[in-house]
Amino acid sequence: MSRKFVITVVLILFLLPFVSWYYLQSGLDWRRKAQEVMSGTTPFPTGKYLLSDGHVFDTDSLARYVSIVSFAPCSSQDADEKEVLEVIYKQFKETNKARIIQVDTCGSNAAGTTSQGLKNWYVIPCTDSIDLCTLLRTDWPADKPFALVDRKGIIRSYYSINTKDEKRILVEHMSLLLPRDRQEKVELKRGDKK
């Protein structure tokens, strides 16, 4: 047997499976850590709430979407929050499985101008939905402007956006919760059926 043949067999039988196992294991560990962070059990307040555009938002519709909830920025100092929401919206709008929900505590409708005409972007003013605002504020950490709500209406986690890593984690966790499209069955075509 030649030396090249032995090296090739060793690579195929031992090294390749080990590298594959390591790669899959690191992905599994990453997913487990993400699930540990997203271990929240607080339900999003249920009900029907009047939106800034006059329509009604029914929380029963949360079952089909993964949502990012935030309080609308009241000052220009919070412009980073608005920018992050716009980037996330652009990234996930084609999936039609993600929503942006802003709760406007300012009463200025500053968020309404950003979201006007955008599909799956909702602004709920606190002037009309005092119960929602009160319930959300009770458990909301002051230093984390975003909350991630899964398709069962559970607030999974709260997120800061002070660094690029924190923004990346928010996007990664959102993509983990998005439902996957079912792929059609693969059909093998032979000969003249091509």
Task: Write the DSSP string, 84-146.
Answer: HHHHHHHHHGGGT-EEEEEEE-SSS-HHHHHHTT-TTEEEEETTT-HHHHHHHHHH--TT--E
What is the per-residue pLDDT for 186? 67
Average pLDDT along the chain: 81
In a domain, 187, yes or no: no
The per-residue pLDDT for 88 is 87
Query: pLDDT per residue over 61-93, tens digit each?
Result: 888 888 898 888 776 666 778 888 888 888 888
If asked whether residues 17 and 88 sit together in one domain, one would say: no
Tabulate helix, strand, coil % of the chain (nearest 5).
Answer: 50, 20, 35
| 30, 116: one domain | no
Indicate if the pLDDT at residue 191 is higher than 70.
no
Q: 47 and 17 in one domain?
A: no
Asked whether residue 91 falls in the same domain as residue 33, the answer is no
State both tokens at 124. 């709920």
Confidence at residue 139, expressed as pLDDT on a 0 to 100 scale: 82
Residue 184 maps to a domain: no
Number of domains the chain is built from:
2
Asked if residue 122 and residue 47 are part of one domain, the reply reads yes
- In the prediction, which pLDDT does 168 show? 87
Instruction: Quote the domain boundaries for residue 164.
Output: 42-177
CATH (domain of 129): 3.40.30.10
Residue 189 lies in a domain: no
Same domain as 133, residue 163: yes
Q: What integer is the mean pLDDT of 34-53?
A: 82
The strand pair at 56-58 and 48-50 is best described as: antiparallel
Q: Which has more pLDDT, 152 or 108?
A: 152
- Same domain? For 74 and 147 the reply is yes
- Cβ partners under 8 Å of residue 107, min gap 6: 125, 126, 127
The verdict on residue 164 lying in a domain is: yes
Place of tokens 């079912």: 182
Residues 86 and 171 in one domain: yes
For residue 112, what pLDDT band results from cuts at 50, 70 and 90? very low
Question: pLDDT tens for residues 162-175?
Answer: 888 888 888 888 88
